[in-house]
Chain A
């Protein structure tokens, strides 16, 4: 096989055992579409539902203290930010997957998506927890302030849970996600590097 023309001939003779039925591709396609929409839109819908619920509470039961209103605003901000980021990432994923652009454009798009994902899993998740936690602590005050014991128990429970999430869950989640995403980005960079002169 010293001649490139021979190689080309050999290559073009190789064929799959059989070409699968085209109908199977269409069936797979419909299944994949359903799964993708359910996965991406599911989380966005969950955030949206939570948001509607939080906004409806003060309409039904008006707050007496300004701290409750501020707390609600912070929680709404946290959930709304999560909704926007998740929907944005989902839309970006839809644009990226099955991209018909050339390889260089596609790889750059994929790299941007991974970088955004990395931001979301590191700084984004911390901002979300801070807003949500502060909002919840302020929100609880109006309902717990009448009884010292209930207030102490309620705050101990809430702060305990938040510390557990912040100290234990958050770093683990960040570490796990970052490792996978950083690996992916460095491989993408390696491939785009190959494209350069």
Chain B
């Protein structure tokens, strides 16, 4: 698969994962770029042992986890001035809320929920995180509930 093709296809997905993790657009862009640098470097050694998507999500989530020193400076729930896309005001506000609530979750929960929201099947989430499928299923269920509760609490404010 060509790098350019992978890049165009996965850039928005990886950006959202990073955005969900750090809740800061500039930093999310940096981690996304860092991820594609690795993809470019290692594409030759990629042996189709997993799908290319799993492979890229692994690199991106590892980069997110490694960015923890920087992310510590970012107050959870704070939002970037420049918002992604140019969505309608209502949608913009909802996206803002969603990123904001995800930012208050624990590190691994942020990764898992971003992968769920991206539509990855649980077996693939398990392959990205290294958790067992049973553990993944339990965690996904808990995190979904936790996030929905947070969003509801946020809306009531």
Contacts and interface: CB of A to CB of B under 8 A. Distances in A.
Contacts of A1: 94, 97-98, 148, 151, 155
Interface stretch (A4-12, A140-148, A151-159): A4-12
Contacts of B111: 103
A11 B118 contact: yes
Given A103-B129, A104-B130, A194 B106 contact: yes
Interface in A1-26: 1-2, 4, 7-8, 10-17, 19-20, 22, 24-26
B22 interface: no
A19 B29 CA distance: 10
A15 B15 contact: yes
B91 interface: yes
- Among B37, B62, B138: residue with most chain A CB under 10 A: B62
A150 interface: no
A22 B43 CA distance: 14
A45 interface: no
Contact of B62 (A13, A106, A195): A106
Given A16-B84, A22-B4, A194-B106, A32 B37 contact: yes
Contacts of B95: 10-11, 13-14
Interface size classification for chain B: 35 or more
A55 interface: no
A103 B84 contact: no
Nearest to A108: B130
Nearest to A190: B107
Contacts of B107: 191, 194
A19 B8 CA distance: 7
Contacts of B103: none
Contacts of A103: 58, 61-62, 65, 108, 111, 128-130
A103 B58 CA distance: 7
Majority-rule SS of A interface residues: helix
Given A12-B117, A98-B59, A110 B11 contact: no
A157 B84 CA distance: 63
A195 B65 CA distance: 12
B98 A16 contact: no
Given A103-B58, A187-B68, A4 B108 contact: no
Contacts of B7: 19, 22, 25
A23 to B, nearest CB: 9
Contact of B144 (A4, A29, A105): A4
A10 B33 CA distance: 23
A84 B125 CA distance: 38
Contacts of B48: none
A47 B107 CA distance: 39
7 contacts: A11-B16, A12-B117, A14-B85, A25-B37, A28-B33, A101-B62, A107-B65
Interface of B: 3-4, 7-8, 11-12, 15-16, 19-20, 25, 29, 32-34, 36-38, 40-42, 46, 55, 58-59, 61-63, 65-66, 68-69, 72, 82, 84-87, 91, 94-95, 97-98, 106-109, 111, 116-119, 127-131, 135, 138, 144, 147-148, 151-152, 155
